[in-house]
Amino acid sequence: MKLFRRRERRDDDIYRIRAYEVRGEPRELMRPIFWVTLIAWLLSFFLFYFGTGMLEFQLQRVGFVSVLLGWVVMSVAMAAGYAFGYRIMLALTAGSRMFGEREITRLSIGDAFASACGGLVISALPAITVSELFLFFTWVMVVGVCFTFSQLQPRYVARWREIAETRGH
């Protein structure tokens, strides 16, 4: 008896396209992932500065300008981590599974989580300096998943529709 049975609805009238075709070229999405997550991290400085006490010790020790510059450097590293996490995910997956148009959201969410894992790996270094690790790692994943998904989903759907249209479906 299988405990975890995958329920897949396979209607004959649903057209399916392989994941690697929907994803396209990695560089097409690495740049938008980098820029959107960079902006999210830069703006989140003010959230952490005014909303939490995480930066208080650093502010007292080195001052506002140094903390802000450190945040900018960390933000660039995190955004690069998300972009390279996406690239590594593409290198490790074959993308041979087929997806219908309704299932593209599942593909986008999975790819966004894989991309966020790249940021999570990079976040190990700046995590040394924060006082609340759980809050920091949660924010790493929230920014990574939400903002990467915001870049992947519309592009994947558009690409799926373009491929289906060129093939006459």
Q: What pTM, to 2 d.p., does this model score?
A: 0.84
Q: What is the pLDDT of residues 141-154, one digit of tens each?
A: 999 999 999 999 99
CA separation for the pair 144, 112 (Å, rounded): 7
CA separation for the pair 159, 16 (Å, rounded): 13
List strand residue ranges (DSSP E) for 92-162, in order.
98-99
Please, where are the H alpha helices in 52-132? 56-62, 64-92, 104-122
Amino acid occupying residue 75? S
- When mean pLDDT is compared across 46-60, 63-77, 85-99, 107-121, the lowest value belongs to 46-60
Q: What is the pLDDT of residues 2-25, one digit of tens each?
A: 555 555 555 545 789 999 999 989
Q: What is the pLDDT of residues 34-49, one digit of tens each?
A: 999 999 999 998 888 7
